[in-house]
Amino acid sequence: MNAPETHFLYPSTLFVSRKHVVVSTVLGSCVAVCLHDPVNGVGGINHYMLPLWNGQGLPTPKFGNIAIMKLAEKVYAMGGSKAYLVAKVFGGGNVIENKCEGLLVGNRNADIACELLAEMGIRIVAKSLGGTRGRKIEFDTLTGEVRQRII
């Protein structure tokens, strides 16, 4: 088998492919949702920084609610089927010490992923969320496997 292509996923972007690609990204308080349909061979991943779009600026995948909806839409558009789709969720570490009063952005990012995926009926089969450290992950779009290192 040929070596897979590689792709570095920048914050606020998403990536979906039917080819064999290893997507890497680095997460602090950001969260990445990986969607994988092993039957139809579609894999996709996003990387968002804040939980919700508040109506300011453009509704980009910088925001969890937008990023998760857009990722699912794109996975479906590429032939993914809800029946086989599984999710893996990473990140949401509280790496910056209590910057804002009250709720921590890492926690809120993680919560929104779990809530939205449950609402959409997509099963979360693996997750690594929270903590106080960053993560580096590599997502294999063909196998759906995610390798994680705590950094």
Partner 1 sequence: MKHLTDEEIIDVLKARMKENKLALEEMKILTDELKSVNRKLEESEALKSHFISNITNEIVNPFSSILGLSANILSVEKENWKKVHSMVAMIYSEAFMLDFQLKNIFAAAKLEAGEVYPEIVKVDVQSLLSTVISSFRIEARRKKITMELKFEAEKDSSKTFYFKTDPEKLRLILSNLLHNAVSFSYEGGLITIRVWLEDGRLYISVRDRGTGLSESNQNIIFDRFRRVESGINSTNRGHGLGLSINKAMLDILKGNIRVQSESGRGTIFTFDLPEGEADAPAIATDSNEMFFDDQQIF
Residues assigned a catalytic role: 30
Is the CB of 44 or the CB of 106 nearer to partner 1? 44
Q: How many angstroms separate the CA atoms of 146 and 80, rounded?
A: 19
Give 24's strand partners.
8, 138
138 is a contact residue toward partner 1 (CB under 8 A): yes
33 is a contact residue toward partner 1 (CB under 8 A): no
Q: What is the DSSP string of 23-45?
A: EEEEESS-EEEEEEETTTTEEEE
8 is a contact residue toward partner 1 (CB under 8 A): yes
Smallest distance from partner 1 to CB 40, Å: 21
The 71-110 contact track toward partner 1, x by CB under 8 A, reads ---x-------------x-x--------------------
Q: Is 60 helix (H, G, I), strand (E, B) or coil?
A: coil
Q: How many angstroms separate the CA atoms of 23 and 9, rounded?
A: 6
Find the binder of partner 1 among 13, 111, 114, 130 (CB under 8 A): 13
